[in-house]
Amino acid sequence: MYLLPYPTFPRVSANTAKHHLTKLPNDVGANEQPRQRCPIFLRPYYFRDMQCSELSSVMTELSSPS
């Protein structure tokens, strides 16, 4: 079996991806609770499985050189 040098992710259709990204008004999280402000590129979307602060810290880890 040939192993790819990078992790593979399951292919996701656009409709399935939309299921995980929920458009919400600015600074409103799940259950209509106010949430802390996000980086500008994350602000319009709320990832249902993560709090905004968790997501931005993941993004920071991904973008920081190791």
Question: Across the strands, what pairs with 34?
Answer: 28
Can you tell me which residue has the tokens 């402000």?
37
Predicted TM-score of the model (pTM): 0.17
DSSP tag of 43: T
CA distance 18 to 43: 16
CA distance 16 to 1: 29
CA distance 36 to 56: 11
Residue 26 structure tokens: 């600015």
Instruction: Note the pLDDT tens digit of each residue in 8-59.
Output: 555 655 555 555 555 555 555 555 555 555 555 555 555 555 555 555 666 6
